[in-house]
Amino acid sequence: MNEEYSGIIGMQDMAKEAPAEEPGRQYYFMAKCRRYVKAESERLGRAAL
């Protein structure tokens, strides 16, 4: 993945509501998905991607 986009996704504040405007909204949900995948990987004892 492009490091620029990876940085933007990593900076999303998950304590707030999802932004109403694009592309911020998409970055927010990508960050949310990353956290979900990481948590499930850890729960299952697998290495996260």
Percentage of the chain lying above the pLDDT 70 cut: 94
pTM tops 0.85, yes or no: no
CA-to-CA dists, residue 28 to 3, 15, 43, 45, angstroms: 16, 11, 23, 26
List pLDDT tens digits, range 8-24: 999 999 999 999 999 99
Evaluate if residue 43 carries a pLDDT over 70: yes
Evaluate if residue 1 carries a pLDDT over 70: no
